[in-house]
Structure 1
C-alpha cells in the first residue's frame, strides 16, 4: 500500500483521520495502536495499516493469520464524544460502513452477521470475508500536550481480499476475489471503508450516539442477514439459546424469540445461522 498517497487522500484539517501509518509486518494492529494510545503516541483519528499480521485477533480471542498483502488489515483510534453506554454501537457502525463501502467499490452484495461479521456469497453459500474487533483503551495526552488522558476505542477491521481457496483459514471463510469482486486493489478499498466509517460515525456522534436518530439502527437492520433466521447463540460461560432472531434493539443487542414465546436480548456470544435457513454453521475470516 502507498502510505503517502493514502495520507493525502484521507488525512486533513476537516477529516476524522489525523495520521496514517503503514507497517510491513506486525503481530496485531489493534495491539500496536492501543499501546501507542496508552503511551501518548497516537491521538484520535490515528490509522495503522499492516501489510501482514502474524497474530491477528478476532472476537472471543480467536487467532487468525493470512498471507502478506492478501487483505486489508487496519486499526483506527476513536474517542466518541457521546455517553459511554452507547459506545457498543461503534463496531456495528463499522460493520454498516464496511458493507456499504464494499458494495460500492467492489460491486458485491454484502450482508452482516450479528454483531459485525461481513458476509459475501460464494457459489450460493454465505462466507465470512471480514470481521471487526473493538477494544477499549486508555488514551494518554499526546507527548507534546499537557492535560489528562481519556478513554477511547481501538477498532480493527480485517478483510480477506485476494485469498484463494487453498489460503483460507477455515472452510467457512471467503474472500472478495472468490466472491467475484469487480475491484481487488486494496488502496481504494481501504479508502472507501475509512470514508464510509467517517460518514456513519459522524452521523452517530452528531446525534449524541442515538442509533435511531442517526439512522444507524435502520441501516444495520436492513443489512443484517441474521434477522429472521433460526439461530443458536453460544453464550459466554457455556450456555446457549436457540430461536428466531427477531430484532436488533436500541442497545445493539440481538433479540431472540424462543419456542416458549419469550424474547431474550443477547449482548455477547457467538451466533450460528442454523442450516435449513440458508445459512452456515460456522464462522471464519479475519479481524485485526
Structure 2
C-alpha cells in the first residue's frame, strides 16, 4: 500500500522541506480578499473593486498604469502583501517584511472639485488613516505635515505610515498608503520608524484595520467632494490642524533648490500649505518640501 504525500507535498518517508508558502508565518496571516470585497464594495459606495496581490513592485505605479490604460476606475483599491519597490515622498524607498503592514493604493477622480483643491487629497487621506487607525487599533495617532502618520513608542514620536499622491493622467489621482502594522524593533528600516504593534495597538489584525481605514477615507472623501473641495465647509482644514503634530513647533523646511526656512509652524492655510512664522516676523507658506521637527510644541 502506497502512503500519499502529506499536506505540504512531502513524501511519507522522504526529507521534509521547510514551509515557505503564504501560511508560513502564522503570526502574519494573509488578507482575506473575498471578505474585504464583501465588506467594502457595495451599491452606491465609493469602492468599486478590491484587488489583493501577493507581491508587486509598487501599488501606486501599478494602479497608475491600470488607470491610464482604462483598466481601473474611481474607487479601485489595489493592496499588496509585499512591495519590492514601494516609494515614499522624494523617491524614498519604503520596505517591510511580507504581510507586516498595509500597503495599498486607491484611485480617486473628484471631477466636480476644482483641480486647484486636489492638493488636499493627501492631507485628507492622512486624516482618514489617522482616524481609522485610532478607532480600530486603539492607538493615539498624529500627523506630521504633509503626509506622515505618527505614533508614540515609549516616549518617542515615530513614523508608522506615509502617503503618496500621484496624477494618473485624465483618470484622476492615485493615493498610496503604507502603514507598518506588526513590525518588531529589529525589523524597522530605520531607528526612527515605528509600528502599530510597538505603539501598543489592541489589534494588529490587518483585515479590520484596512476596512476601518477605507471606510474612514470614503467618509472624508464624500464630505470633501460634497463641499466642492472646500476644506473649511467640509471640516477638513480644522480636523487636520487639530491632529497635526507639526503645528506649534519650531521646524526646518527643506525646500526645492537647496533652500531652507526655520520658523514656528503656526497654521495650515486654505491651500493645505504649512505657514511658518520666521524670526524676522514674516509668515511664509510652504507648499512642498521636507519638514524637520526641531523642538517639541
The reply to whether TM is greater than 0.5 is yes
Query: Which protein has the larger Cα radius of gyration, Structure 1 or Structure 2?
Result: 2
Question: Which of 259, 263, 273 in structure 2 is aligned with 1:253?
Answer: 273
- Residues 191-250 of structure 1: CA deviation (Å, up to 9, x unaligned): 000000000000000000000000000000000000000000000111100010000000
Structure 2 counterpart of 1:277: 296
2-side partners of 1:273 and 1:42: how far apart? 38
1:118 aligns with 2:149: yes
Q: 1:64 Cα deviation (Å)?
A: 1.7
1:206-217 equivalences in 2 (<5 Å): 206-217=226-237
1:99 aligns with 2:161: no
Structure 2 counterpart of 1:220: 240
Structure 1 counterpart of 2:101: 71
Structure 2 counterpart of 1:231: 251
Q: 1:14 Cα deviation (Å)?
A: 1.6
1:39 aligns with 2:39: no
Unaligned stretches of 5+ residues in structure 1: 139-149, 279-288
1-side partners of 2:267 and 2:252: how far apart? 15
Aligned residues: 266
- Residues 147-172 of structure 1: CA deviation (Å, up to 9, x unaligned): xxx34000001100000111111111
TM-score normalised per structure 2 = 0.89
2-side partners of 1:186 and 1:57: how far apart? 21
CA RMSD of aligned residues (A): 0.8
2-side partners of 1:36 and 1:170: how far apart? 32
2-side partners of 1:135 and 1:238: how far apart? 23
Q: 1:12 Cα deviation (Å)?
A: 1.3
Structure 1 counterpart of 2:196: 176
Q: 1:277 Cα deviation (Å)?
A: 1.9
Structure 2 counterpart of 1:147: none
TM-score normalised per structure 1 = 0.91
1-side partners of 2:119 and 2:41: how far apart? 26
1-side partners of 2:133 and 2:240: how far apart? 15
